[in-house]
Amino acid sequence: MRPSPLLSMWGGTNISLSLGFFLPLLLVQVVEIVDEYQTACIPSSYTNNDERVQYIQDVNTNKLCTRTLTVPKHMKQPIFVYYQLENYYQNHRRYVKSRSDKQLLNGDSTSSTDTETCKPEQFLGELPIIPCGLIAWSLFNDTYSFTSGGHAITINKKGISWKSDREHKFGSFYPQNFPNNLPNNQNGSLIGGASLDPNVSLNENEDLIVWMRTAALPTFRKLYGRIDQNLNAHTQLSVQISNNYNTYSFDGKKKLVLSTTSWLGGKNDFLGVAYITVGSFCIFLALAFFLLHWKHPRPLGDTKYSLSRGHKVGKPVAN
């Protein structure tokens, strides 16, 4: 029996494993504010979901809503602003396929075979829709703006989408015949969500690019923007929400999230940092043990350091 090398290996493995788990948690202290607003942002006279849908679809109702949030702990910039939708099945088979990646990249409006997959959002009247498909058509259209103590807090919307999406999946061309840009029911249009600025090309429209990266689960967060300043504990934030998006017809929840960590959808440093930390630590431990062994080699089978040496036959523990 050679307990000593075994013991030290076992101890080392234990230490590195537990540090591997807890180090990332210690490194990244997450502060998060979550505000569910889909009910609070509808006047209380609209009691059931049918009435709420009517309220949302009526262009004449005032959709502005002010929420007050308190920062619980100091939040270090960058602070990510997300919207979180629940009970929203972006992964539904018909929905997730209703897009044309070819069109998104090349802007080809002539070949309808390229937009075949976009049905039922393929044509507006006779004209091809760019960008076509249900996903683009249902683009999220709530907006948020923040003030604190009377001062506006800027939301930076640049760089919220994946760079690879902007460069390799979306082309530099402009929306055309987009149904949400017309008044409801003009030329067969039906409003599904946000309109698209005809002067902003698809590869510059980061909200659209973020939305088009469909979520795999019915509860998901999407990056809305970034606040590039620190927020002190107990700061009162006043949020103006434009409560436009219809989640009422399917009983979906809407939440506004402010968080100090990045989630999938933006760039995600967290996993990278965690892996690098744990990896470096393992390498460091391996080197340390190697050096120890090299400086103080211990002959195999030497039971001098073993805990159980005192129990050897013929050797009393103390005298």
Ligand X SMILES: *[C@@H]1O[C@H](CO)[C@@H](O)[C@H](O)[C@H]1NC(C)=O
Residues that bind ligand X (CB under 6 A): 56-57, 125, 141, 182, 187, 191-195, 197-199, 244-246
- Minimum Å gap between C-beta 248 and ligand X is 9
Cα 104 to Cα 166, 184, 204, 212, 266: the distances in Å are: 11, 24, 12, 10, 20
- Minimum Å gap between C-beta 205 and ligand X is 13
Token pair listed for 139: 């683009």
Smaller CB distance to ligand X: residue 60 or 113? 60
Smaller CB distance to ligand X: residue 197 or 269? 197
Smaller CB distance to ligand X: residue 155 or 182? 182
The one-letter amino acid code at 269 reads D
- Minimum Å gap between C-beta 91 and ligand X is 18
Smaller CB distance to ligand X: residue 109 or 195? 195
Angle between helix axes 3-27 and 269-295 (nearest 10 degrees) is: 150
CA 74/CA 203 separation, integer angstroms: 35
Give me the residue whose beta carbon is nearest to ligand X. 246
Smaller CB distance to ligand X: residue 60 or 308? 60
- Minimum Å gap between C-beta 64 and ligand X is 11
**Conformation bin of residue 108: beta by default, left when phi > 0, alpha when psi is -120 to 50:** beta
- Minimum Å gap between C-beta 57 and ligand X is 5
The one-letter amino acid code at 227 reads I
Q: Are strands 127-128 and 253-259 parallel, antiparallel or unpaired?
A: unpaired
